[in-house]
Structure formats: C-alpha cells, structure tokens
Chain A
Amino acid sequence: MKRVAIVGAVLLMLLPGCATRERPEGVVERWLLSLNQGAAGRPDRFASSALSEQVVPGWQHIDPGHLDTIEVGAPAPDPGVAGGSLVPFRIVDVDGAQVEGVASVGGVASGRRVTAITLGRTPPGLPLPSEGGPTPGRISATAWLAALGVAAVLSLLAVGVVVLVRRTAARAPDVT
C-alpha cells in the first residue's frame, strides 16, 4: 500500500508536465507549412484564403516544397486584441524570394486563427531567431534544476533494480 501511495504521488507530481496549451507561434508555423503544400495542405484551417494569398501568391497552384525556409519567432501579446498574439515570421522560396511579416493570432475564443498580417521587415520589438531574437521556447532555470532532480531519481531507480536482480540471481539455482 505504501508503494502504491509513493507511485501515485510521483505520478501526481508528473501530471502538470503533461499539461498542454495552445501556442500562437505553432499556429503560424502550421499555417506556413500547410501553405508550402499548396491546396493539399489546406491552409484555410489556420487563416483565410485572402491572407494566404498575401503571403504566397497563387498558393493553390504551387508545387509542394515551394518554400525552402520557414522561420517563426517568439510571440508577443497583441495590444489590440484580448488574448491575441503577434508572431514574427519569414519565408524564403526555392528561387530565393523572401517574405517577412508579423501575423496576428486571435485568442482562444476565436479558435486561435491567424486574423491579420502585416508584411515588411519585422519590427525591432519582434526579431526573428535568425536576427538574434528569442526562440519560441526557452528553458527556465527551474526546468534545468527539475531535470537534474529527475536524472538523480532515475539513476537511483536503475541502480536499485539491478542490485535487486543481482541478489535474486545469486540465490537462484543456475540450471539450464
């Protein structure tokens, strides 16, 4: 019973780590990736056809893999939309033509869709990773420490299991 309680406590501690969330930068990335597949990618799941047309003109008729580079930066809150976000992005097609801009992603209530875009160089406050800006994810000091703690627990568990098996093997008769 005690063991079950310990396992249960560990699982409860791990549960928050399994929590999911909706990331606006992921929505923009999925939109651009789907645009890269032309009509088959169904970019309408993420933005209107008009917005898609602004970023990749004639996207319904392009060959898959038309975009050579797709880059999305870390989001910032959109001051004009409650719960909305601004996400910088950059695409480069196989001919070297580049498009940069900022996508506005609506809040959860709007289904997390791209609602508007502003084309042109990304503003100084929203630099792309390739321009020295932050990447969408960054590990906090707490996360590093937690990882080290889990590493210690895992190592001890592994050692414990091998020691246990060694002891039982030493007591068992070795017959083929």
Chain B
Amino acid sequence: MSQDVERGDRYRRRLLVLLSSATFFEGYDNFVLAFVLALVLGDLGGSEADAGWIRAITSLGAVVAFGLAAQADRVGRKRLLLITIVGYTVSAALTAVSPGLLWLTAAQFSAQVFLGAEWAVAITIVVEEFPRTHRGRALGIVTSMNTLGGIFVGVLAFIGLQDTALGWRAFFVVGLVPLLLIAWGRRSMLETERYEAVRSDERSAGLDHDSLLEPWRPAYRSVVLAVGLVTFFRYFVVSAGAFWWAYYAQQEVGLSVSRSGLFLAAAGVVGALGFLVAGRLMDRFGRKRMFEVYMAGALVFGTLTFQVHTPLVMLPVLCIGIFFGLGSVAMTSAFATEPFPTYVRSRAAAWCRNAFEIPGGVLGALTVGLLGDHVTGPIGSIGDAMALVSVVMLPASMLVCWLFVPETNAEDMVAMDEAVAVA
C-alpha cells in the first residue's frame, strides 16, 4: 500500500524531474563539444577531418555503452541510472583538464559510455512507470530536455562563458552539476514497478534475464532490426546536423560565435516544443503516423537549414528543422521500448539505441566531415554535404518505419508481460 502511495502522481512528477535532468546533460554534452569545436581545434590544434574523427571516436563510447545499458535488466533501472550519472560527471571533469586532443577524445569517449547507458535506462523507466495514457507525454518531456541541454550551451555561449579565463573548458566544468542529482536521487527514487513485478514473478524465472542476445530471438528479431534501421538512418542525419550546424553557421555563413549561440538557443526553445507536441500527438494519433510527419518536416527544413545563407531566413528555418528533426526522438524512444516485454526491454532498447542509433550518429558526423572538409573534401562545404546526406538517409528511415515498425500506441505493458510469462 505504501508503495502505491509513493508511486502516485507526486512521485511521478519527481521522477520526471530526475530523469529530465539526466537527459538534459545528455543533450548538453552532445552539443557542447560541437559548439566549442572551433575553439578546441584552435587551442589544441586540428582540422575539420580531425573533428570528424573525434566525433566518431567519442560517439563510439555510446556504442560501448550497450554493454552497460543492457545491465538494467539484471541490476535494476534505479541502480544503473545513478551509476551512469556519477560516471558522466567524472568524465566531464577529465574533459575540462584536457592537455591535448587525445586526452579530450578519451575523456569524451568515457562520457559517452555513461550518457549512452543513461539515456536508454531513463527512457525505459518512463515507459515502465507512467500509465498508458500519459506515456507519450512523459516521453516527450524527458526527451525534450535533451534539446534544452543544447539550448543551455547556446545561452552560456551568448553570455560569454568562452571568454572567461577557462575558455572552452568552462563548458565542461558545468557538467559537474549532475553530481547534485545523486544526493537527491538516491533517497527519493524507487525501482520501477514493472521491473520489480517481473523479477518477483515465479513464472518469469524461466525467461532469460541476462543474455545480451535475447532481443534477437525470433519473436523480437525483425522488430529490433526494423526499429534499429529507422533510428540508424534518422540519427545519421540528426546527429550530423547537431554536430556541424554551429561550425557551418560560423565558418560558412559568417555568423559570430555569440550570434550563432543566440540562434541555437532560440531554435532550441522552438525545438523543445517539438518534443512536447510530439508526445501529445503520438498519444492521440499514434506513434508511426506522427513519426512520418516529423520526418517529412525534418527532410524539408533540415535540408533547407544547410542551404540558407541569409541569417534572418536561417533562424526560422533552423527552428522548424529542429522542431521536427529532434522532436522525432519521442517517437523513436517509444519504438525502442514499447514493443518489448519488461524482462527484455532494456536490452532491446540498448540494441536499438547503442548498436544502431549511435553508430548512425558516428558515421553521419564523420561522413559529413570528410565530404565537406574545406580543403580536401569532395564536396568541400559542410552545408552542402549535410543537405545531400539528409536527402539520402531520411527517406529510408520513413519507409522502413511505415512498413515494419509496429504501432504501440495502445500497448498494455502488464498484459504483454503476462502473455510472455504464461508462454
């Protein structure tokens, strides 16, 4: 009974704050390196191609995070979330004291290991702790914090954090803040109800709670692959766009660092609305339908964003591009968790996120960097490379989703777990 009281609306609101804080810093860290890239390359030395490699290597950390994220089915969601927050904070501190690109790459690789696992477990907790009618909205809120983290980078740049004595390093000192969450989260957070129920259900003892390959058994295989491909193609473009936009704006459009920071902050606010609107719309109209709408918007406005060279036109186009491009993660988060029963959900989410989505992000940023390198790239422009990559990758994401991803809008988690336990 006390558990029921503790898990009421008030608890869920507090939980939402904790999870949102975790995804906030996931977004912060993903944006911050991109935003101070020119300063980092100047300070520590390097070219656009080097930057592409740094992005690729550090993003591989999120692939490695697969092993860590999958442990949530074994050690529990709560414990893993707290471990990942501590790990990220230490990595941010190490980044701030980087003496060279190699150190910085290693520290950011480590940060991505913890952030990659943190994201997967946060989404799993939302899906398991919120009732069906509010799941989409909660996913929208938690995933929107990712963009707000990015906005925060822009705000810090606009007020001149890079001009302080610490320079670009100050942005990574800010990454120490999540430590405060630990003190709070340790006391107030509970293990998810679904996880506890499944672990204590004797009928589920016969299920495989440990094997990393469990999501690939025939019953789940094609769904994991379809969702994985959808997230791979989508993130190939979105990650590259998020990583290269500031560089494109500063080096190819001629915006100053502070003005591009202002643009990013403004666009991020509109973009955050994209998550919240997506959360509500997908509860009402279904995940798949809204994903197609969002991807179509991302294709048009994402491509335009990297072809516009007039600052006044760029701002609204960027806002709409971010609204659709980043907002669509609310749907992909649902795709990666809702079709799977609790005993295997974290591992399935880890496969989709860490084995497909993240490699997509790695290859996307690297491909655009190599194609658009200003001296040696075959395209020679980051903006043009980004536009062409969008046209190539996003239609594939839309088609695979439409044909193969199941609609989970009305999915009942309890009934799904019951069916698996009985079988």
A interface residue numbers (CB < 8 A to B): 17-23, 25-27, 29-30, 33-34, 36-37, 40-41, 64-65, 68-72, 90, 92, 94, 128-130, 135-139, 143-144, 147-148, 150-152, 154-155, 158-159, 161-162, 165-166, 169-170, 172-176
Contacts and interface: CB of A to CB of B under 8 A. Distances in A.
Contact of A159 (B41, B47, B393, B399): B399
A140 to B, nearest CB: 10
A22 B252 contact: no
A40 B55 CA distance: 23
Contact of A135 (B167, B381, B396): B381
A65 B39 contact: yes
A33 B38 contact: yes
A69 B380 CA distance: 20
A74 B270 CA distance: 33
B257 A23 contact: no
Contacts of A150: 392
Interface string B43-76: 1010100000000000000000000000000000
B396 A68 contact: no
10 contacts: A17-B378, A65-B42, A69-B255, A137-B252, A143-B388, A155-B400, A159-B403, A173-B218, A174-B219, A176-B206
A154 B163 CA distance: 45
B42 A64 contact: yes
A22 B254 contact: no
Given A129-B254, A137-B372, A150-B392, A166 B222 contact: yes
B384 to A, nearest CB: 4
A38 B254 CA distance: 20
B250 to A, nearest CB: 8
Given A136-B252, A162-B229, A155 B375 contact: no
Given A30-B47, A41-B42, A138-B381, 6 more contacts: A64-B43, A158-B233, A158-B399, A162-B226, A162-B400, A165-B221
Contact of B218 (A135, A158, A174): A174
Contacts of A64: 39, 42-43, 167
Contacts of A41: 42
B395 interface: yes
B9 to A, nearest CB: 37
Contacts of B258: 68
Contacts of B377: 20, 23
Q: What 7 A-B pairs have minimum CB-CB distances, sorted nearest first?
A: A137-B381, A26-B375, A26-B374, A71-B254, A169-B218, A37-B42, A20-B376
A30 B206 CA distance: 61
B21 interface: no
Contact of B375 (A27, A37, A130): A27
Contacts of B219: 169, 174
Contact of A155 (B47, B383, B396): B396
Contact of A165 (B207, B222, B252): B222
A139 B163 CA distance: 36
B391 interface: yes
B229 A161 contact: yes
A129 B400 contact: no
B309 interface: yes
B381 A174 contact: no
B225 A161 contact: yes
A135 B309 CA distance: 8
Contacts of A159: 399-400, 403-404
Given A26-B375, A158-B233, A69 B392 contact: no
A71 B399 CA distance: 39
Nearest to A30: B375
Nearest to A140: B384
A137 B221 CA distance: 43
Nearest to A170: B218
Interface in B232-267: 233, 250-258
Given A169-B222, A174-B218, A65 B374 contact: no
B373 interface: yes
B379 interface: yes
B395 A151 contact: yes
